[in-house]
Amino acid sequence: MRNIKALGAVTLSLALAACDMAPKYVRPELPVPAASPQGEAYAADGAQGAIVPADTGWRDFFTDARLARVIETALANNRDLRLAVANVAQARAQYRVQRADLLPTVGATGTATYSEQPLVQFGQDQRLNTDVYQAQLGISAWEIDLFGRVRNLTKASQEQYFASVENRNAAQTSLIAETANAWLSMAADQERLRIARDLEKAFGKTLELTRARFDRGVASELEVRQAQTSYDQARSDIANATTLVAQDQNALNLLAGTTVPSDDLPQAFPDGSATIDNLPADIASDVLLRRPDIASAEHQLRGANANIGAARAAFFPKISLTAAFGATSLGLSNLFGSGTDFWSVAPSANLPIFDFGKNKANLRYARATYDAMLATYEMSVQTGFREVADALARRGTMGQQLEAQTSLRDAARVAYTLSEARFRAGVDPFLTTLDSQRSLYTAEQSLLATRLTRASNLVELYRAMGGGLK
């Protein structure tokens, strides 16, 4: 028994003193500028008291209660997110399986052997019956990880697990942004439907007036046909907007994983912002490291680095240990009696000599995989930087564009009112009124599109900066 304890102590000491063949991991330098771009398209000054998206939960960012409820429903029911959660559970289980190889597997066995053999004694034919009972506790072929092969495989599996967690976080962030944009798109289409209906009524009154003037011989048939085209275009736009609203609802139901209650659906585009709008106007590049997709890519890189260590360790001897301690007896009642105990220890070493280049090929593969993961990581950083820069460029000019579109719509509305009054008074021809109607319709649509772009830009900027996890 003392020998077993001594052997265990020596084995444990060897395992703790084992070396690590993996290269020392150093985070690569970010392949992007240190700060976000500057220029005419970007805001000169950041908002006062701007929030940090990565530190701001989505419940605080999305201020519209209906939108927040839809997002919460999506997080609870979306099937893509459930798949990501299941992938995390799979990776966690695989990591635990690999981690178990670090420690010996202890098993207990019990056997009973019954035998009968011929025994010739004093010329008499006799038979000898023997019953042998045995119980033992031991370990079988446990690898003593002197060169870090098992530990590096465990590290690689752990990094895969961490990467799956970050992939799940990235899926959640994307789901929140997609749900918010789908809700905002439906709100914009509801507003587009309202505008088309309002213009249909206005065009309908103009058409009735023009027909009445034609019946009195004041207006020409050309004017009637021109008024008819505007009225029919509005009718067509109503039908199209009605279809878009239905499709938006279908898309929202798919993202939510269930039917969204009608009370949570937008009936018009929000007058105010559906989100917090005091986001930063620029960021430092290292903020990108908090994005879940970039964090996942780095975990993959760390795992590839650990696999290099495992491939290197394959060139060195593989030492394993099999040991057992137990008792054996010819009678079951005496199985654990005095003098029945036994023990055995069988260490072994396996050193590769000729493997025809297998280990070298595995090492080359591990290094090539690391290079691929490095390129993937750097591409993820560059993609993230580009997404943030694009969103900042859009945000930098959004205020001016929205102001200009609002002024354009207001001017078109006044021009339409004046031209209609002058037409009724017989001062201006009908074509002037028709042009002003069409200009107002186009201005309303353009302003709505600009408002949607602004709202979607805030959502994209929040997502690109790593928000949406809390």
C-alpha 297/C-alpha 383 separation (Å) is 12
User: What are the backbone angles phi and psi of residue 147, rounded to the nearest 5°?
Assistant: -115, 10
Residue 225 in any domain: the answer is yes
Amino acid at 81: L
Contacts of 206 (CB under 8 A, 6+ apart): 227, 230, 231, 420, 433, 434, 437
Structural domains of the chain, count? 1
First to last CA, the chain: 55
pLDDT per residue, tens digit, the chain (470 aa), is: 444 455 455 455 555 456 778 899 999 999 999 888 888 888 765 555 678 888 889 999 999 999 999 999 999 999 999 999 999 999 999 988 888 888 888 888 888 887 777 766 555 567 767 777 787 888 878 888 888 888 999 999 999 999 999 999 999 999 999 999 999 999 999 999 999 999 899 888 888 888 888 888 877 888 888 889 889 989 999 999 999 999 999 999 999 999 999 999 999 998 888 998 888 887 888 888 889 999 999 999 999 999 999 999 888 888 888 888 878 777 676 767 776 777 878 888 888 888 888 889 999 999 999 999 999 999 999 999 999 999 999 988 888 999 999 999 999 999 988 888 887 777 777 778 888 888 988 999 999 999 999 999 999 999 998 887 77
Residues in the chain: 470
Angle between helices 430-464 and 358-424 (to 10 degrees): 150
Which structural domain range is residue 59 located in? 15-103+145-316+358-464
List, for residues 207-241, the tens digit of each pLDDT value. Answer: 888 888 888 887 788 888 888 988 998 999 999 99
Domain presence at residue 402: yes
Q: How far apart are CA 287 and CA 53, in angstroms?
A: 10
Closest listed residue to residue 362, CA positions, set 215, 152, 194: 152
Distances (CA, A) of 470 to 158, 261, 311, 354, 464: 24, 24, 39, 55, 15
Asked if residue 346 belongs to a domain, the reply is no
Which residues lie closer than 8 Å to 70 by C-beta, 6 or more apart?
Answer: 179, 183, 252, 256, 260, 264
113 in any annotated domain = no
Estimate the share of the chain in helix, then strand, then coil, as percent rounded to the nearest 5: 65, 15, 25
- Identify whether 347 is part of a domain: no
39: left (phi over 0), alpha (psi -120 to 50) or beta: left
Residue 117: strand pairing partners: 128
By the 8 A CB rule, do 396 and 281 touch? yes
Give residues with Cβ within 8 angstroms of 109, minimum separation 6. 135, 136
Contact (CB, 8 A) for 31 and 382: yes
The answer to whether residue 129 sits within a structural domain is no
Residue 178 lies in a domain: yes
- Is 343 within the bounds of a domain? no
Q: What is the pLDDT of residue 18?
A: 60
The enclosing domain of 458 has a CATH number of: 1.20.1600.10
Q: Distance of CA 408 to CAs 157, 402, 404, 405, Å?
A: 59, 10, 6, 5
